[in-house]
Amino acid sequence: MRKKLNYNHTVYACFSGYVVQAVTVNFAPLLFVTFQNSYGISLDKITLLVTMNFGIQLLIDLVASRFVYRIGYRTAAITAQIFAAAGLVGLAVLPQIMADPYTGIVTATFLYAVGGGLDEVIISPIVESCPTKKKEAAMSLLHSFYCWGQLFTVLASTAFFVIFGIEKWQYLACVWALVPVLNAVFFSLVPIPPVGGEDGGPDMKLGQLFRMKRFWILALIMLCGGAAELCISQWASAFAQTGLGVTKTVGDLAGPCLFAGLMGLARVLYAKFSDKINMQNAMMACGALCIVSYLLAALSPIPALGLVGCALAGFAVGIFWPCALSLGAVSIRGGGVTLFAMMALFGDMGCTSGPTLVGMISDAFGGKLNVGILFSLIFPLLLIVGVLLFQRDIKKEHKKSQISVDNREKIG
């Protein structure tokens, strides 16, 4: 069967990999209020689950560039799917069989976080290494599949809760585990390029990357982009229920569901029109829109407008992550797995710090999530600063290049 599959199927498997990551990141947050009510878990412990999820992914980002070279893309991809499946099944089973339900949830979070972290590190470089056409469009669409995965997770989960009841959520967790199981089989069948590209050559060393000023600017952009995205997406359901006073069904549909749909729309539009717009200017415009959406969500006295703010934030943050990766791939040649892993690391630092900041500040103000969201305005502001610094660095490089050309012409 493997002979009948080509690298286009490999890209499809990677698309599915981002759906798996979307499930592991967005399913548990739909249950945060349920965890509080069923197990008596406090808001600060719920916050720790978010921190741990992305903290583990951050750790995987840090070490992945070393062990991926040893085990190869295929083994890493299959391992990621297995850990994700084990975590989702564990989320359903472990809280019921362990003396402390919270410990069971933490253990399950650890397992699917490992899977999500591996997916994040290897999927983008696999697509980049595949000898396929229209690679830039494929990369943009790749990241949109996280959004569609998030949207499908919220819609399907909400429908399940309405039909069967929220108390049956453990069964749904096991159903979601089938997605990574099937994708593990898919990854075992498709052709996989060698680590380092088609020739299997080595990528840039970590020390080389860390000595580049441009990398640290990109790291700032990735950190703020990840934080800006997850500040809303991780807390949208809980914020809609407790902060805006809507029901869980309405909160899930109008909060994370609209957020994911508009984020995916932004990424698809970017894939279609990327050759006609200035990427950096688009990122700064979206940063400004993100600020407006945060203010609308946090300060609006009308629940409907607050939900509009949450949804609008999805469109605003949509291009941050894929555009930052594109900037890195284009401006730092030969980065390979090392570059993607380190950029993912800083992105996950943002994914960890953003929702954690929202949870901690909200807890300090008596559980008012709108206060935490208001404080997180710092992330889109810093992202705009980072893009301005990147533009300045590029202009300096172009100026130096022009001086070199002029000098060569004088010598000639």
- Cβ-based neighbour number of residue 26 at 10 Å: 24
CA–CA distance, 401 with 226 (Å, rounded to integer): 33
pLDDT tens readout for residues 190-248: 998 876 544 444 567 778 888 899 999 999 999 999 999 888 777 766 766 665 666 66
CA angle 102, 21, 105 (to 5 degrees): 5
- What pLDDT, on a 0 to 100 scale, did the predictor assign at position 20? 94
- What pLDDT, on a 0 to 100 scale, did the predictor assign at position 244? 62
CA–CA distance, 7 with 21 (Å, rounded to integer): 21
- What pLDDT, on a 0 to 100 scale, did the predictor assign at position 114? 92
Three-state DSSP class for 319?
coil
- What pLDDT, on a 0 to 100 scale, did the predictor assign at position 336? 72
CA–CA distance, 6 with 391 (Å, rounded to integer): 38
**Residue ranges, the chain, pLDDT below 70:** 1-3, 65, 134-137, 195-203, 236-237, 239-255, 401-412
CA–CA distance, 198 with 7 (Å, rounded to integer): 12
Residue 141 domain boundaries: 2-400
* Tokens of residue 63, six digits: 């070490």
- What pLDDT, on a 0 to 100 scale, did the predictor assign at position 199? 42
Domain assignment present for residue 412? The answer is: no
- What pLDDT, on a 0 to 100 scale, did the predictor assign at position 251? 65
Rounded alpha-carbon distances, angstroms, from residue 195 to 28, 59, 126, 300? 33, 20, 8, 49
Domain assignment present for residue 407? The answer is: no
Rounded alpha-carbon distances, angstroms, from residue 289 to 18, 113, 257, 351? 26, 30, 19, 19
Domain assignment present for residue 64? The answer is: yes
Rounded alpha-carbon distances, angstroms, from residue 354 to 77, 188, 311, 358, 367? 27, 35, 17, 6, 16
- What pLDDT, on a 0 to 100 scale, did the predictor assign at position 115? 93
* Tokens of residue 232, six digits: 């809303």
Domains of the chain: total? 1
pLDDT tens readout for residues 273-315: 777 788 899 999 999 999 999 998 888 777 778 778 888 899 9
Domain assignment present for residue 408? The answer is: no
Task: Identify whether the C-beta of residue 118 lies closer than 8 Å to the C-beta of residue 64.
Answer: yes
The residue type found at 255 is G
- What pLDDT, on a 0 to 100 scale, did the predictor assign at position 136? 62
Domain assignment present for residue 109? The answer is: yes
Of residues 27, 60, 337, 11, the one with CA closest to residue 186 = 11
- As separate numbers, helices (DSSP H) first and strands (DSSP E) second, the chain gives 17, 0
Phi-psi region of 201 (alpha: psi -120 to 50; beta: other; left: phi over 0): beta
- What pLDDT, on a 0 to 100 scale, did the predictor assign at position 203? 60
Which CATH number characterizes residue 35's domain? 1.20.1250.20
Domain assignment present for residue 410? The answer is: no
Task: Identify whether the C-beta of residue 125 lies closer than 8 Å to the C-beta of residue 77.
Answer: no
- What pLDDT, on a 0 to 100 scale, did the predictor assign at position 331? 84
Task: Identify whether the C-beta of residue 290 lies closer than 8 Å to the C-beta of residue 262.
Answer: no
Three-state DSSP class for 212?
coil
What is the Cα gyration radius of the chain? 21
Return the percent helix, strand and coil in the chain, to nearest 5.
85, 0, 15
Half-sphere exposure of 255 (CA within 13 A, CB side): 30
Q: Which single residue is written with the structure tokens 């609006």?
A: 300
Domain assignment present for residue 406? The answer is: no
Domain assignment present for residue 332? The answer is: yes
